[in-house]
Amino acid sequence: MLLLDTCALVFDALDPERLSKKTLAAIAQADEDGTLACCDISLWEIAMLVSKDRLNPGTDAHTFMQLVLAARKIEVLPITPEIAAQSVISDFCPHGDPADRLIAATAILHKAKLVTTDRKLKKVSGLQVLR
């Protein structure tokens, strides 16, 4: 499974040049294989970015998210009790952002590689990161 961080979802949709050719190829392969996913919290983050005018996808947040999910076969993974519990362990993740902690926990518990440009997430023990 290949898990897209919020930034990877946005970059893949709006600015793919910000992702490496290797990463874009991995995303395309996971899409073809039906093993591409994102966390549900990423949808909330996108909605917040649009509502605060920090992201302008050229449409409203709801439509943008529907288009992003429809453009590829992206499974939206929910927060489970295990993910929630893992994400709050103090030494699990050096990241202070709760959404990023949830995304990291999701990747680890689903044994997925995480596509992200967030350098702090590379420091999470056991997390496989693709940049």
Q: What is the pLDDT along the chain (131 residues), one digit of tens a residue?
A: 999 999 999 999 999 999 999 999 999 999 999 999 999 999 999 999 999 999 999 999 999 999 999 999 999 999 999 999 999 998 888 778 999 999 999 999 999 999 999 888 888 888 999 98
What's the predicted TM-score (pTM) here?
0.95
Cα–Cα distance between 70 and 94 in angstroms, integer?
33
Q: Give the per-residue pLDDT at 61.
A: 97
Sheet holding 74-77, edge to edge: 74-77, 36-39, 2-4, 113-115, 128-130
Q: Which domains does the chain have, with CATH numbers?
A: 2-130 (3.40.50.1010)
| Rounded (10°) angle between helices 40-51 and 61-71 | 140
